[in-house]
C-alpha cells in the first residue's frame, strides 16, 4: 500500500454526505424486500441480498446498519427499523450456542442501542436500558461456553468444533468484555463462577500466540505479521497441532479478511483496556505484559497488510492465491476487481481500515506521532472505499460497498461476467463495517465523543 500524507481526514469527511445518502437507500431497499423468515441477508447476487446457510452471523449487521445510519444522520426512520427489528428478531442470536459470532450479532444491535441511550442521542426508559443490558449479559455468557482448554489457557472455539480457533473470533470477544463490564459472570457446574474477562483475555492471548506469526521460525512459512484463519488443537490434551484455513487458500497463506479481523480486533482491544481493572485479570497476565503482546501483534499484522496489499490498499482475497502470479506486478498498482484471475475483497479493507485508525490513535496517546502511519492508512482506505468503483451508486443494487468476497474456495460468490472473477457484489459485514468506519471518522472530524463498542457501558 502506498501512503499519501497529502490526503487528509477532511478530504474524506467531504464524501460522507453522499456515502450516507446511498447507505440509507440500501437499508430501506433491504428492509422493504428481504424476507428474514428465510434467514439473514449475507451477500448480494446480481445486486440483490440473499441468504446463505452456514451459520447465522450477519443479521446483527443488517439491523445494526440501520442504527448506525440513525447515529450518523439523525433520521428517526432508521432508528425505528433498527430498534424494532432488534427487539423482535434478535433474541435467538442471544442464546445461539452453535456459533462464535455473538460479538458481531449482538453488540452491533443491542450494544449500539444502549450506547445511543448513554450518549443522549435517544431516549430510553429504565426498562429499555435494562432490557438491552440483560441481552448483552446473556450473549457474553453464552459465547463463553464454547470453551477449549489448552496448557496455557484456552480459547472460544469456532463453529467447526472444539479443535478449532478462528482468527476472526478475536473481534467477537467484545461480547464477553461488555458482559463482564456490566457485572455479569458465567456460572458452571456446582455454581462455579467463571470470569468472562479472563476468558476473553485468554482467547486474545491464544490468538496472538497461535494465529499470528512473528518471523521466529515456527514453521517454513513463518513470515512476520501473517495470520492463519484457523488453528487446530488436539482436544485430548489441548496442544497446538497446525494451521488450517476454511475461507483462505491454505493454512500457510494469509486469507486477507482474517488478517483484517485481527487488525480490527487488536485495535479496539488496545483502546479499551484502560477501562478494565487490571485486578480482574491479573492472575493471568499483567497489564503491561498484555499490552506488550497485543501491541506487537497489532504492529506485525498492520505491517504485513501494508506490505502485501496493492497501492490503493484493497487486498486480493488471499496473499497466496494460486493465480496471483498471472497478474504480474500487482502490488505496485491499484487492485483490479475486474481481472480474470483472482478476486479482490473490499470487505477486508472495510474491516482493516478502522483497525488501522484505532491502533494509530492508541499509539498516539502514548507517543504523539507514533501512530500517524496507521491513521493515514485508515483514512486512505476510507477514501478509496467511499468512491467508485467500490461505492455502490446504482439504485437497483442493494449493496453499499462493491467487490466483496465471501467464500472463494467453496465458489459461493456470484460471477456476473464469463471469463472474469467474482466481482461487483456486496456483503453484510463489508457494508456494516464501512458504516462503522464512516461513523468513527465522522465523530473524529466533528470532535464528538470517540466511538468504541464499550461506550455501551456507562462509565
User: What average pLDDT does this structure show over 430-440?
Assistant: 98
Query: What is the 8-class DSSP label of residue 50?
Result: E
Question: Which stretch of DSSP H or E encloses residue 154?
Answer: strand 153-156
CA 432 to each of CA 2, 19, 81, 399, 439: distance values in angstroms, whole numbers, following the listed order: 26, 13, 15, 10, 11
pLDDT at 424 over 90: yes
pLDDT of 59: 96
Q: Which three cell numbers stand for residue 362?
A: 492508541
Segment 188-244, tens digit of pLDDT: 999 999 999 999 999 999 999 999 999 999 999 999 999 999 999 999 999 999 999
Q: 9-456 domain in CATH 1.50.10.10?
A: yes
User: What average pLDDT does this structure show over 116-121?
Assistant: 96
Proportion of the chain above pLDDT 70, given as a percent: 100
pLDDT at 429 over 90: yes
User: What average pLDDT does this structure show over 304-308?
Assistant: 98
As a whole number of angstroms, the distance between CA 276 and CA 287 comes to 10
pLDDT at 459 over 90: no
Q: Which three cell numbers stand for residue 443?
A: 465523530
Question: Strand pairing partners for 316?
Answer: 344
pLDDT of 258: 98
Q: Which three cell numbers stand for residue 202?
A: 485468554
pLDDT of 327: 98
As a whole number of angstroms, the distance between CA 344 and CA 256 comes to 10
Domain boundaries, the chain: 9-456
pLDDT of 54: 80
CA dihedral 16, 8, 267, 139 (to 10 degrees): -10
Interior/surface letters 200-232, b for 16+ CB within 10 angstroms, e for the rest: bbbbbbbbbbbbbbbeeeeeeeebbbbbbbbbb
297: Cβ contacts below 8 Å, ≥ 6 apart? 208, 212, 262, 266
Q: How sure is the predictor about 55, in pLDDT bands with cuts at 50, 70 and 90?
A: confident
Phi and psi at 242, nearest 5°, equal -170, 165
| Residue 353 burial by Cβ neighbours in a 10 Å radius (0-12, 13-18, 19+) | buried
The gap from C-alpha 65 to its chain's centroid, in whole angstroms, comes to: 14
Amino acid at each position: 500500500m502506498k501512503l499519501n500524507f497529502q490526503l487528509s481526514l477532511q478530504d474524506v469527511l467531504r464524501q460522507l454526505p453522499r456515502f450516507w445518502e446511498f447507505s440509507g437507500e440500501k437499508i430501506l431497499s433491504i428492509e422493504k424486500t428481504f424476507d428474514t423468515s428465510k434467514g439473514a441477508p449475507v451477500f448480494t447476487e446480481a445486486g440483490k441480498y440473499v441468504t446463505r446457510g452456514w451459520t447465522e452471523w450477519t443479521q446483527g449487521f443488517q439491523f445494526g446498519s440501520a442504527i448506525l445510519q440513525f447515529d450518523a444522520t439523525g433520521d428517526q426512520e432508521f432508528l425505528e427499523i433498527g430498534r424494532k427489528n432488534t427487539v423482535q428478531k434478535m433474541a435467538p442470536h442471544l442464546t445461539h450456542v452453535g456459533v462464535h459470532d455473538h460479538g458481531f450479532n449482538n453488540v452491533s444491535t443491542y450494544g449500539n442501542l444502549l450506547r445511543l441511550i448513554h450518549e443522549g442521542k435517544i431516549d430510553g426508559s429504565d426498562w429499555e436500558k435494562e432490557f438491552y443490558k440483560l441481552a448483552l449479559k446473556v450473549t457474553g455468557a453464552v459465547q463463553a461456553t464454547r470453551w477449549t482448554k489448552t496448557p496455557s489457557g484456552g480459547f472460544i472455539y469456532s463453529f467447526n468444533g472444539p479443535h478449532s480457533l478462528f482468527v476472526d473470533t478475536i473481534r467477537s470477544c467484545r461480547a464477553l468484555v461488555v458482559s463482564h463490564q456490566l457485572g455479569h459472570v458465567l456460572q458452571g457446574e456446582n455454581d462455579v463462577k467463571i470470569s468472562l474477562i479472563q476468558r476473553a483475555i485468554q482467547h486474545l492471548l491464544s490468538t496472538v500466540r497461535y494465529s499470528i506469526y512473528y518471523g521466529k521460525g515456527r514453521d517454513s512459512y513463518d513470515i512476520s505479521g501473517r495470520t492463519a484463519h484457523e488453528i487446530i488443537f488436539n482436544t485430548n490434551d489441548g496442544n497446538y497441532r497446525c494451521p488450517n484455513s476454511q475461507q483462505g487458500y491454505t493454512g500457510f497463506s494469509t486469507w486477507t479478511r482474517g488478517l483484517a479481523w485481527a487488525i480490527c480486533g487488536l485495535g479496539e482491544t488496545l483502546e479499551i483496556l484502560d477501562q478494565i481493572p487490571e485486578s480482574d485479570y491479573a492472575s493471568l497476565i499483567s497489564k503491561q505484559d498484555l499490552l506488550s503482546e497485543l501491541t506487537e501483534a497489532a504492529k506485525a499484522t498492520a505491517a504485513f497488510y501494508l506490505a502485501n496489499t496493492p497501492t490503493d490498499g484493497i487486498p486480493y482475497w488471499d496473499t497466496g492465491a494460486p493465480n496471483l502470479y498471472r497478474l504480474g506486478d500487482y502490488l505496485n498498482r491499484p487492485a483490479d476487481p475486474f481481472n480474470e484471475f483472482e478476486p479482490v475483497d473490499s470487505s477486508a479493507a472495510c474491516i482493516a481500515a478502522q483497525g488501522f485508525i484505532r491502533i494509530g490513535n492508541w499509539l498516539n496517546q502514548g507517543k504523539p506521532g507514533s501512530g500517524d502511519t496507521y491513521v493515514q492508512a485508515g483514512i486512505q482506505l476510507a477514501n478509496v472505499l467511499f468512491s467508485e468503483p467500490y461505492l455502490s451508486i446504482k439504485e437497483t443494487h442493494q449493496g453499499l460497498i462493491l467487490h466483496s468476497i465471501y467464500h472463494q474456495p467453496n465458489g459461493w460468490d456470484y460471477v456476473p461476467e464469463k471469463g472474469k472473477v467474482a466481482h461487483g457484489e456486496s456483503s453484510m459485514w463489508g457494508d456494516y463495517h464501512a458504516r462503522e468506519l464512516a461513523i468513527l471518522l465522522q465523530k473524529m472530524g466533528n470532535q464528538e465523543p470517540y466511538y468504541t463498542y464499550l461506550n455501551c457501558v456507562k462509565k
